[in-house]
A and B are shown apart, each in its own frame.
Chain A
Amino acid sequence: MEKTLIVSKIKNGIVIDHIPAGKALKVLKVLGLRGPEGYRISLVMNVESKKLGRKDIVKIENKYLSRQELSLVALIAPSATINVIKDYEVVEKYKVTLPDMITGLIKCPNPTCISRKRNEPITSKFYVLKKEKIMLECYYCGTMISGEEIEKYITV
C-alpha cells in the first residue's frame, strides 16, 4: 500500500500523517481551513497504517503550522506526525505534542466557571494532565475534559 501514492508529492508545505481514521476533516476545521483561504489541500481517509490500523493523511501546500495550530492538531489527533516539506524533500519530521498548559483554545464545559462569566477580562486555561489519551483540567474550576468531548469545546 505504502508503495502506491494515492496523492502526489507536494513541493512545499506540510503533511500531517497518522491522524486517527475519520478525523481529517476535524483537523482541517480546527486549523480554520474551509477552502476559501486558497491553500491546495489533499486529504486521504481510512488508508492502512501499521501503527493505527487505519489512518487519515492531510497534505497542505505552502502552509506551516504555528505553535497554537500544533496544539489544536494535537487536541484532535494526538498521534499525528508532521512532515515539513521543502523542494519535495522532508526537511523536518516530528510528532505533535501538547504544551503543559493550554490557554484560550477551549471553553470550560462548566457553565458556572468564572472563565465563562461574560464581560470579564479572562481567558480559559487548562492543565494538560495526560497528553496521549488527552485529559485536561480547568485551571480555574477544576472541571476535567477528556477524549471525544474535547472537540465540542474548541472555540476557534
Chain B
Amino acid sequence: MPFAFRDVISILDYSREDLELLFETTDKIRELLGKKSSLNYLNGKIAALLFLEPSTRTMYSFQTAVYRLGGKALVFTSEQATSLAKGENYADTIRMFDSYSDVIIVRSKYEGTARFVAEIAEKPVINGGDGRHEHPTQAMIDLYTIRYFFGRIDGLTIGILGDLKYARTIASLLYGLTLYNPRKVYLISPGVLRLREEVRRKILERNLPITEVSRLDEVIEELDVLYVTRIQKERYPDPIEYEKVKNLYKITPETLTKVKENFKILHPLPKIDEIDPRIDNTKYAGYFQQAKLGVPLRMALLLLVLGLWG
C-alpha cells in the first residue's frame, strides 16, 4: 500500500513500482467505467478541492473523479476565497478543511504550497499544481498516456517542447521520466526558456539522457512522442525576438511530414495556438485522449491514497 494516507507532493516521492501500481489500478478503473459510469468506492467520503489559483481542467477532472467514485467534493476556488481576501492565512483555511474532509487537493500560485499544507493537515494532501514548481498528477497522467499509446515508456525517444523554464508540468514530467529508461529526451526550446538549474540538476543526477536543442525540425523524425507546451509571449524580454522564434515552435501539418508512423503529440492543455487545429483529427493528436485519461487516473490515485483499493 505505498500510497495509502501518504501525501502526493512531488512525483519523486514515489518509485517506478509505485507508479506501475497506480497505472494498473487506472487500467482496472477504466475497465469498470466501461461497464458502469459511476462507482461507489468513495461513498461517505469528502474531498476538499482548494483551488487558490484559477484552474479548469485539473479542478473539474478531480471533481469528476470524486463524483464518479460516489464521493462528495467541497470546492473552494480563488473566487470564493472571501475570507482569504479578508486576510485569513492559508494555514487557518487548511486547518478548517482538514477537519471537514478526508483528502485535500490544493493548487496555488505559490511554489511549495502543497508541502506547507501537508505539514499542517493530518489528512493526505495531493498537489494540484504549485506555481511553476510541480504538478505531479499531470505528470502521472502524461506517463500513463505514453504507456497507453506505446505499451511502455522505456526505450522511447521523447521530445519536450516549449516553456521549459516556467512550465510546472514539464518539471514534473521530467522527474517522472527519471524513474524510467527512455532512449533519449530532447529538450526543445529557445535559449531564454531553457530548464531551471534546480530541475536540470535533479534530472542529471538521476541520469536522464537529455539533449538540449533549439529547433524542432532537427529532431522530429527521431521522436516517438512530442510533448508540447505553450511559449508565452510575455516570457520574452523582447517582443521582436518572440516574433522571430514563434513559428519555429508552432506545430502544423507541414511540421509532421516526416514523423514516425506511431508518433504522438501530447499537451497538458489548454492549448492556444501552438498546435494547428488541423492536427486535432489526425492520428498524431494524443492530447484529447490524454485529457480523458486524467479522470480514471485521478480516481485510481484517490482510491490508493485513501487506502480504499487492494
A101 at the interface (CB under 8 A from B): no
Inter-chain contact A137/B198, CB cutoff 8 Å:
yes
- The B107-134 residues at the A interface (CB cut-off 8 A) are 108-113, 115-116, 130-131, 133-134
Say yes or no: A114-B198 contact (C-beta < 8 A), given A140-B111, A141-B111.
no
B141-157 interface bits toward A, Cβ cutoff 8 Å, 1 = contact, 0 = none? 00000000000000000
Say yes or no: A140-B115 contact (C-beta < 8 A), given A112-B110, A120-B91.
yes
A110 to chain B, nearest CB (A): 6
A116-149 interface bits toward B, Cβ cutoff 8 Å, 1 = contact, 0 = none? 0101111000000000000001111111100000
Give the complex CA separation of A138 and B116 in angstroms: 12
Inter-chain contact A110/B90, CB cutoff 8 Å:
no
Give the A-B contact count at a CB cut-off of 8 A. Answer: 57
A115 at the interface (CB under 8 A from B): yes
Inter-chain contact B111/A113, CB cutoff 8 Å:
yes
What chain A residues lie within 8 Å of B87 (beta carbons)?
119
For the complex, count residues of B whose C-beta is within 8 A of A.
20
Q: Which listed residue (A110, A119, A120) contacts B116, Cβ 8 A?
A: A120
Chain A: number of interface residues, binned into ranges: 10 to 19
Inter-chain contact B91/A114, CB cutoff 8 Å:
no
Give the complex CA separation of A110 and B110 in angstroms: 10
Give the complex CA separation of A112 and B131 in angstroms: 8
Q: Which listed residue (A119, A121, A141) contacts B112, Cβ 8 A?
A: A141
Q: Which listed residue (A120, A137, A140) contacts B90, Cβ 8 A?
A: A120
Question: Which B residue's beta carbon lies closest to that of A142?
Answer: B198
Say yes or no: A142-B89 contact (C-beta < 8 A), given A112-B131, A122-B116, A137-B198.
no
Question: Which B residue's beta carbon lies closest to that of A119?
Answer: B89
B16 at the interface (CB under 8 A from A): no
What chain A residues lie within 8 Å of B109 (beta carbons)?
112
Is chain B's interface secondary structure helix, strand, loop, or mixed overall? mixed
Inter-chain contact A114/B89, CB cutoff 8 Å:
no
Is chain A's interface secondary structure helix, strand, loop, or mixed overall? loop
Give the complex CA separation of A113 and B91 in angstroms: 15
Inter-chain contact A114/B110, CB cutoff 8 Å:
yes
B292 at the interface (CB under 8 A from A): no
Q: Which listed residue (B116, B197, B199) contacts A114, Cβ 8 A?
A: B116
What chain A residues lie within 8 Å of B131 (beta carbons)?
112, 141
Q: Which listed residue (A110, A121, A122, A144) contacts B111, Cβ 8 A?
A: A110
B184 to chain A, nearest CB (A): 25
Give the complex CA separation of A113 and B266 in angstroms: 29
B201 at the interface (CB under 8 A from A): yes
Question: Which A residue's beta carbon lies closest to that of B133?
Answer: A141
Inter-chain contact A113/B110, CB cutoff 8 Å:
yes
Question: Which A residue's beta carbon lies closest to that of B112?
Answer: A140
Inter-chain contact B201/A144, CB cutoff 8 Å:
yes
Give the complex CA separation of A137 and B130 in angstroms: 17
Inter-chain contact A114/B113, CB cutoff 8 Å:
yes
What chain B residues lie within 8 Å of A117 (beta carbons)?
89-90, 110
What chain A residues lie within 8 Å of B108 (beta carbons)?
114
B283 to chain A, nearest CB (A): 37
Say yes or no: A142-B110 contact (C-beta < 8 A), given A122-B116, A137-B198.
no
Give the complex CA separation of A142 and B111 in angstroms: 8
Question: Which A residue's beta carbon lies closest to that of B94?
Answer: A120
Give the complex CA separation of A143 and B113 in angstroms: 14
- The B80-117 residues at the A interface (CB cut-off 8 A) are 87, 89-91, 108-113, 115-116
Inter-chain contact A138/B112, CB cutoff 8 Å:
yes
A90-125 interface bits toward B, Cβ cutoff 8 Å, 1 = contact, 0 = none? 000000000000000000001011110101111000
Give the complex CA separation of A113 and B116 in angstroms: 10
Give the complex CA separation of A143 and B201 in angstroms: 11
Inter-chain contact A120/B111, CB cutoff 8 Å:
no
Give the complex CA separation of A139 and B130 in angstroms: 13
Give the complex CA separation of A93 and B115 in angstroms: 39
B102 to chain A, nearest CB (A): 23
Give the complex CA separation of A143 and B197 in angstroms: 9
Inter-chain contact A114/B112, CB cutoff 8 Å:
yes
Inter-chain contact B91/A121, CB cutoff 8 Å:
yes
What chain B residues lie within 8 Å of A138 (beta carbons)?
112
Q: List 5 A-B contacts (CB under 8 A).
A: A112-B110, A114-B113, A117-B110, A140-B111, A141-B130
Instruction: Please list the 4 inter-chain residue pairs (A to B) with the smallest Cβ-Cβ separation, ordered nearest first.
Output: A140-B112, A141-B111, A114-B112, A141-B112
